[in-house]
Amino acid sequence: FLPSRLNNQPVVIGGLTADEMWVTVFGCSGFGFVIGLPLAFMITPSMPVVCALIGGTLGLLIAARVLRRLKRGRPETWFYRKLQLRLATFGPVSLNNANLVIQSGNWTCRRRAQQ
């Protein structure tokens, strides 16, 4: 008996794992904080904090729905491999340390003549 899901991260909120949830919350909160900085001068000084909380909450709700649809019916590592492929294909060479085979074309197996 070997449980196949013993070492996997548990689903925390809305189909997101803990790592996905924290990246989403911090990224969207940071974006909301930046949006709230100009509003702090116009409305009230507490706007960056308010916008960070709203941004984190909305980002978590939206990302949970989108990622749940994307990951449905696929292997658990599909999303991470897709990100690695995008980074290897379109990203800078310095960040491509995954050593992925990204060559497209027909693969052939040729035999040599017997002697």
Percent of the chain with pLDDT over 90: 37
CB 35 within 8 A of CB 51: yes
Percent of the chain with pLDDT over 70: 94
Taking all residues of the chain, what is their mean pLDDT, rounded to a whole number? 84
Position 110 pLDDT exceeds 80: no
Cα(80)–Cα(78) distance, rounded to whole angstroms?
6
Bridge partners of 17, per DSSP, are 11
CB-based burial of residue 27 (10 Å sphere; 0-12 exposed, 13-18 middle, 19+ buried)? middle
CB 21 within 8 A of CB 60: yes
Cα(30)–Cα(20) distance, rounded to whole angstroms?
15
Least confident residue range of 45-49, 50-54, 111-115: 111-115
What's the average model confidence in pLDDT over 8-33? 87
Q: Residue 59: which pLDDT band, with cuts at 50, 70 and 90?
A: very high
pLDDT of the residue at 30: 96
Q: Residue 111: which pLDDT band, with cuts at 50, 70 and 90?
A: confident
Position 56 pLDDT exceeds 80: yes
Mean pLDDT highest for which of 6-10, 81-85, 89-93? 81-85
Cα(30)–Cα(55) distance, rounded to whole angstroms?
8
Q: Residue 115: which pLDDT band, with cuts at 50, 70 and 90?
A: low
